[in-house]
Each structure stands twice: as C-alpha cells, then as structure tokens.
Structure 1
Amino acid sequence: MTATTYLYVPGDMPQRFGKALRSGTDAVVLDLEDAVVAARKDEARTSVAEWVARCDPDGIELWVRVNPGDVQARDIRAVAGPNLTGIWLPKVESVRELEVADRILTECGADDARLSALVETATGLMAAPDIARSPRLRFLQIGEVDLAADLGIEVDDSAEQLLFARSRVVTASAAAGIEPPVAAVSVNFTDLPAFEADTRRLRRLGFAGRACIHPKQLQSVRAVFTPTAEEIGRAEEVLSRLASATSGVGVDAHGHLIDEAVARSARRVLARAR
C-alpha cells in the first residue's frame, strides 16, 4: 500500500520516535534539517541512526530528511540500513544531487532505499522534469515556505500563488512515470476542517498524500485520500459499463460518455482504495 500520511518528528527528540511509529501514520519522517538547531545536529544524527537500526517498523515506512551541503553524505551514511525506507533530500536543484545520494546508498548496501526530492528554489522548480527522472526517486515534494521566499511571492490562504509550482511538479511526476508528489506540510493543526479542505484541494491538483507536523492532522489526510464507498461504487460501475460496451466507449448511469481516459481515473480510485 502506498503511504498517504507522513509524520515529521524532530531528530533531536528520540522520546517521540516510538510515539510517532504508533501514531497511526503510514510513514515517519525523522528530520535532521529544519527541526534541529545547528548545535544539536551531531546529536540528532546519532539518535536517529541508532533508533532506525534497532527499531521494528512493523510495516510503517521510515524516512529521514537529511541536511543539505557538506554534512549530507555523513547523514545518509549514518542512517542507511535495512529498516530505512528512504531519504528526503532538501533544496534539490539538479539531478547530480540525487546521483550522489544514490551512489552513497549503493556503497552502504542500502539497495532498497528510495529518494524523495524537495523542490524549494526557482532553480529546482525549473529543473523538476529532469529531477523527476533521477535514480531511486519515488516522488517529488515542494518546500513551499522556502520556495515562496526564493520567488519573492506572498502566499495567502487560497495559495493560488503556488498553483504554477504545484502543477509543475505534478506534471513532471506524471511525465517521468513516478508516484504523484506528496503535498507540503501545513502549520494548521487546530482548525481541522480548514486543513482538510486545503488537503482536498491539493488532491484535486494531483497530489497523493501529505506531510504532517502533528498527529491531529493524520485523520484528515487519510479521509481525503481514502476513496468513499460512493466513489468506489462509481468507479466500479464505470469499469463494468465500459467492459460491457460493444465499442471502445460506453455510457454511464447519468448518460455521460465513458472512454479509456475515464476508465484510467476509475482504476486510480480503486488502486487508492486498496
């Protein structure tokens, strides 16, 4: 099953690691970057590496967001191991950064570990189609706060200022044949109806899953990305009617045309349900 909820945990708070694993999330993201001040980076790296090596994920994905720059290789080497699902690379601007990470993981014997690239600059955004075809890449993401700062834009509640960036990474992902991008975090974990509505807009744009900063957000994200019984029934009906059609097109219960493009969307709904 593809994960839809990704819960961030600061890498210098090992007392929270186990709680995150039992929170009901599909994936835990141990953060060595923004959540950890410079003076505690080494301590966080050690704590995360030790925990990842000895924990029992029990089916939960374990990702680590590493630091950019000179310490990135050290971060990756420290956490590479059999329990690691993959690495989140921040501020990616070129394919070369993923190639370097791929080589390090190979040297460490982490053959199954995957990568996710966070697009957080204008340079990275324009390079997204190439980045999407990088080795080991499972999905793209946007670091929306950093990207907005780099672009010099002011984002309001509608976030319409980010529409181009969001659509670009969705398109780049589809063109490269990788998983759809995971939506960026929201600092809102108190007004859950608003958070859920925002997440639903991101799903309609083509995102699949969302990073979370608080366990309270998990249920809303799962509700958005889990098809309802009505959606499943409608998808099954579309496929059934098209299969029984005497030509390459059919008609649904509302008299609307059904073709292979409609069927692809229906199959996607059923895949999410599974």
Structure 2
Amino acid sequence: MIRPVRSYLYVPGDRADRLLGARTRGADALIVDMEDAVAPANKQAARELVADWLTPEPGPQVWVRINAESTTDDLAAVVRPGLDGVVVPKADPDVLAAVDARLTALGSDAAVLPLVESAAGLVRVAEIAAAPRVLRLGIGEADLIADLGLRPGPDRAELAPVRLQVVVASAAAGIARPVGATSTDFRDTDAFRESARTLARQGFRGRTAIHPAQVPVIHEVFTPTDDEVATARDVLDRFDAAGGGGAVDARGRFIDAAVVRSAREVVALSAGR
C-alpha cells in the first residue's frame, strides 16, 4: 500500500505558507507537525488548517504528527482523504492501542509511525513495533537524550546502543527498517551527510528533515547505487531461476533467505530515484 520512503520533511501544521509549497520540496513524504512545531494556543487552529489542506494529490506521502495527549481531537480533525499515516510521539503500547481504535472507528486505513522518545518506550520497543498498523519506527533522540541523561559527543556514539534496540525490534517484528532522527543544524550539510551515513550503517533506511536543504542529502545516502541495484537484481534473478533454492550469486556465494530479503529491499528503495 505504501511505497518505501527515504525522506520525511517536517512542516509546521499552523503555517499556511509552509503547507502551500510543501508538496514541491522533493521529499518522499511530509510530516505535517501538530505537536512540537505548534504552540499550545494554536493547536485548534492547526487542526482546522490541516483539515482544510489535506486533499488527495499526486506527490509525496502525507503523514500528520499528532499530540499524544489529544489523540481523539487530532485524529477527528485529520482523518481525511489524502492522509497516508499518523506519526505518534512518545509512543507506548497503550497510546498505540487507543490510536488504532480511534482510526478504526473513523473508518481510516492510515498507517502508524511511532516515535520512541522515552526510557519507558525503549523498554517496551518490541511491543511498540508489533502494535497494529505500525509500518516502521522512528526515534526521538533529543527527548531520549534528556530522559536518559546522556551527554553525547560530536559523533553521538553514545546513542548507538539505543538505536540498535530500535533496529532489532523492527527486524523482529518484520516491519520496515526504522527512520533516523534529523539534525537541527540544517546549514551544515557535510555533517548531516556523515551522520546519515552512520545511521545507514546502523540499520536505518531513511531520515527525517526539518529543512528542504536536507532532503537531497538524505536521498544521496539512502538511495542504492546503480551497482548495488544491479547486484540485487542479479541475486533475485538467480534465486528465481533456481526455483527458490540452491542458488549462488556471481561470486559463488549461497543465496539464502536473508540475502534475498536484502536484495528486495535494495530494489524497492531504488524505485524512489
């Protein structure tokens, strides 16, 4: 139903000017933000603005980040034609169950992307990954850093164990690879590129952006190269020709289920190029 996504561009839900051109910014998906980007006094205005803006149009997927403490009101406003999914901040299994029930009552087939943003969420990340409608996980690193009392260095190596838990939970649940957190320093594209490469090595297959300038960098890092795509297609062709068993790749290595799964992921990601 929903194609692979490399980039998710955040757009403030109370800014009509930002929403107006958001679909032309080149991102695979938009996250219309009704949470952190919107002041408490503007929440209702944001609901009304987003509800009016949401229409089925060609272009990027459209997700809305709701508020964990007002899921009922937020979902009532944004469940409209044109909504692909809902981003749930501060996710835990109870909140996700309530979101699923509300979406079902509203007759929506929207997917869910939970954000793991707390120690409590991290402890229950396997349950979160297995919750209804969950397509993939995201990670809210700023909130996690505060909750865990971390003091990351420039390379943020201290976050590697936390990220790994999210990656493992995603793989165990059989959902899409997780999406990495953005950087607020959108002017330093070189640093953003390096940190995106680190995320890719750690098992992430996409990233959020707070500025359109970050989108091309995300695509550069998370889009397979021509050689990678050719190798993946060759693996799949050999596997199919062997009837699903006993195949070897061009270097004589056995093609097992894990190799096939990785090859399919590469081909799927290449469709966004």
TM-score (norm 2): 0.91
> Does the CA contact (< 8 Å) of 1:7 and 1:29 recur in 2?
yes
- Report how far residue 172 of structure 1 moved: 0.6
- Report how far residue 184 of structure 1 moved: 0.9
Matches within 5 A, 1:100-249: 100-110=98-108, 112-239=109-236, 248=246
User: How far apart are the structure 1 equivalents of 2:238 and 2:71?
Assistant: 52
User: How far apart are the structure 2 equivalents of 1:244 and 1:68?
Assistant: 49
In structure 2, do the counterparts of structure 1 residues 100 and 205 end up closer, same or farther at CA, with 3 Å as the change threshold? Answer: same
Unaligned runs of 5+ in 2: none
What is the match of residue 6 of structure 2?
4
User: How far apart are the structure 1 equivalents of 2:247 and 2:56?
Assistant: 49
- Report how far residue 56 of structure 1 moved: 4.0
Q: Secondary structure at the match of 2:137?
A: strand
What is the match of residue 75 of structure 2?
76
Unaligned runs of 5+ in 1: none
- Report how far residue 243 of structure 1 moved: 6.7
> Does the CA contact (< 8 Å) of 1:81 and 1:109 recur in 2?
no
Q: CA RMSD in A?
A: 2.0
Residue identity matched to 1:171: V
Query: For 2:20, which of 13, 18, 21 is the aligned residue?
Result: 18
When structure 1 is superposed on structure 2, of 187-196 and 264-273 the one drifting more is: 264-273
- Report how far residue 18 of structure 1 moved: 2.2
> Does the CA contact (< 8 Å) of 2:4 and 2:268 recur in 1?
no
> Does the CA contact (< 8 Å) of 2:68 and 2:95 recur in 1?
no
Query: For residues 163-182 of structure 1, what are the alpha-carbon distances to aligned partners after superposition, in whole Å with 9 as ceiling and x for unaligned?
Result: 11111111111111111111
Query: For residues 46-78 of structure 1, what are the alpha-carbon distances to aligned partners after superposition, in whole Å with 9 as ceiling and x for unaligned?
Result: 1112211xx343142111111121x22101111
**Identity, % of aligned positions:** 43
In structure 2, do the counterparts of structure 1 residues 77 and 223 end up closer, same or farther at CA, with 3 Å as the change threshold? Answer: same
What is the match of residue 57 of structure 1?
57
In structure 2, do the counterparts of structure 1 residues 88 and 251 end up closer, same or farther at CA, with 3 Å as the change threshold? Answer: closer
What is the match of residue 263 of structure 2?
266
> Does the CA contact (< 8 Å) of 1:252 and 1:258 recur in 2?
no
What is the match of residue 250 of structure 1?
248
